[in-house]
Amino acid sequence: MAKIAFFSTQPYDRQFFENTAGRHEFEFFETRLRSRTANLASGFDGVCVFVNDKVDEDVIKLLQQLGVRLVALRCAGFNNIDLRAANKYGIRVMRVPAYLPEAVAEHAMALIMTLARKTHKAYNRVREGNFSLTRLNGFTIHGKTIGVIGTGKIGQAFINIVKGFGARVLAYDKYPDDSLKEKGVDYLDFDQVLANSDILSLHCPLTPETHHMINRDTLAKMKQGAMLVNTSRGKLVDTSSVIESLKNEHLGFLAIDVYEEEEKLFFRDLSDLIIRDDQIAQLITFPNVLITAHQGFFTRESMEEITRITLENFDDFETGRSSENEVNCQMLNDC
């Protein structure tokens, strides 16, 4: 039985993992994992972390000194883990590479549909007895051109959805997928996708190369009035440039499930506090901006998958088996 310390625990993590009693031993900490909190992992074989835990070299070193030998992510993205340091200090890193790509893809489409048809405004209006349609005029997805950046698991699930809407799909990926070309997806270079898309949806990982891929220059290349959708990672987008573009009325709509500085805000109820992040405070005031707090993954079905696969990762760690869910700097040629 492996002893695992969970960080960034939410009530729903407890609910799903506590039901698996007996297989491994868990302790749940609400705090995020960072240098100041790493000591909590003392006496544990592994830590289980989420998107905003910061597992940098300092943390890895501390974990190794405490005898921890596993960092298990309850998510797919692993940009918050220093894989070189994990390799150096002999710590295995495992993740949940795919649980339900459709969950995130469907959330991206929910954001698009909400902004396109203003259902969030209509909902509030009708509850107040206001049945007027003034300013609720939207736009149809059918016939529009949708640009998809990153055609991996979530990008492909998203493409399947938008094809059902009768939209044209343009795509950019560092490693294009030939099978998608046969399905009518047009791969173009990044700038061409920017210039021709009515809606641009980001589905690539955060890497040094993709950091701020949406910035002042690339925003200027987008169609006037286009919609930008980010359900991937906040740091793909330079928030100050996006605010500027929205204010200049060049970018028409923004839908985000992730935010550059989300670790200070997301997954917490701050409704009684002053929000000190001026950029998100400003974005919240824009009528053409929709923000959700990293809930793309959050469906009953995907939580079940995340729990199942994470438990398998703990089993493989305990028995010393190799795992396809392992990530390391060798496989990324970055050691």
Return the number of the residue (25 or 305) whose C-beta is nearest ligand NAD.
Answer: 305
Secondary structure element (H or E) that encloses residue 210, with its range? none
**Region for residue 249 given its phi and psi (left: phi exceeds 0; alpha: psi -120 to 50; beta: otherwise):** left
- Shortest distance, CB of residue 231 to ligand NAD, whole angstroms? 4
Active site (annotated) includes residue 233 = yes
Cβ 293 vs Cβ 267: under 8 Å = yes
Q: What is the DSSP letter of 255?
A: E
- Give the footprint of ligand NAD on residues 212-241 (CB under 6 A): 231-233
Is residue 76 near ligand NAD by the rule CB under 6 A? yes
Q: Which of 2, 104, 256, 289 binds ligand NAD (CB under 6 A)?
A: 104
Is residue 155 near ligand NAD by the rule CB under 6 A? yes
Beta strands in the chain (DSSP E): 3-6, 25-28, 46-49, 70-73, 92-94, 145-149, 168-172, 186-187, 199-202, 227-230, 253-256, 289-291
- Shortest distance, CB of residue 108 to ligand NAD, whole angstroms? 8
Q: Which of 9, 52, 151, 197 binds ligand NAD (CB under 6 A)?
A: 151
The rounded distance, in Å, linking the Cα atoms of 285 and 269 is 19
Return the number of the residue (232 or 313) whose C-beta is nearest ligand NAD.
Answer: 232
- What token pair was written down for 26? 């868990």
- Shortest distance, CB of residue 57 to ligand NAD, whole angstroms? 21
Active site (annotated) includes residue 106 = no
Q: Interior CA angle at 56 toward 50 and 58, to 5°?
A: 130
Choose the stretch contacting ligand NAD; rule: CB under 6 A; options: 27-35, 83-91, 161-169, 203-211. 203-211
Active site (annotated) includes residue 262 = yes
Question: Closest Cα partner for 193 from 238, 161, 226, 242?
Answer: 226
| Active-site residue (options: 74, 92, 203, 294) | 294
Question: Closest Cα partner for 163 from 179, 135, 141?
Answer: 141
Is residue 260 near ligand NAD by the rule CB under 6 A? no
- Shortest distance, CB of residue 158 to ligand NAD, whole angstroms? 9
Is residue 154 near ligand NAD by the rule CB under 6 A? yes
- Give the footprint of ligand NAD on residues 16-75 (CB under 6 A): none
| Active-site residue (options: 74, 92, 203, 233) | 233
DSSP 71-115: EEESSS--TTB-HHHHHHTT-EEE----S-HHHHHHHHHHHHHHH
- Shortest distance, CB of residue 81 to ligand NAD, whole angstroms? 13
The rounded distance, in Å, linking the Cα atoms of 74 and 16 is 12
Report the catalytic residues.
233, 262, 294
Under the rule (CB under 6 A), what is the footprint of ligand NAD? Answer: 76-77, 98, 101, 104, 149-155, 172-175, 203-207, 209-210, 231-233, 257-258, 294, 296-297
